[in-house]
Amino acid sequence: FFRDFTDPLTMEALKKLDKSMARAGYCLLTILDKETAEPIGLMTFILEKPNARVYKFGILLDTNCQRKTVAIDAINILGDFLFNKCFAHKLSVEFSDEDKQIHRITALGGFDHDATLKEELFMDGRYYDEARYSLHIDMYEALYSTYLDSKT
């Protein structure tokens, strides 16, 4: 679901959220606007399966920044870090199965559909199915190994 933030993103609020999420084992990255350096979104990730080196991530963007390359750039930066510095084997992402736009974007990005998880998401007083997609290191390298080079 493309949704607005209920409050404007501030660095102070993100720092508090980061401390809270760190207690649960999550890492939080702030996405900044290239021109204003203001927060426009965030990404989270966690080492979900240490033995298999599977990282789970999530991304939230301000609605004004959606449907642009901001998410692609952010995921590539995170992918570069997790695959090349943390030696991830694969990245996984889960989202509402009803969101056909995210299905399309994820598949176009080289992610494989792994599963549909029945009633795994509770939002707005209702249960939804979640789609789980993953990107393996070999596909990441084939598609994105030089992506960041083109951005510098």
Give me the percent of the chain exceeding a pLDDT of 70. 90
pLDDT band at 2; cut points 50, 70, 90: very low
Check whether 86 has a pLDDT greater than 60.
yes
Identify the weakest region by mean pLDDT among 41-55, 57-71, 72-86. 57-71
pTM of the model: 0.82
What is the rounded average pLDDT of the residues 122-139?
94
Q: Which long-range contacts (CB under 8 A, 24 or more apart) does 36-40 make?
A: 38/9, 39/9, 39/10, 39/11, 39/14, 40/9, 40/64, 40/65, 40/70
Pairing of strands 54-61, 126-136: unpaired
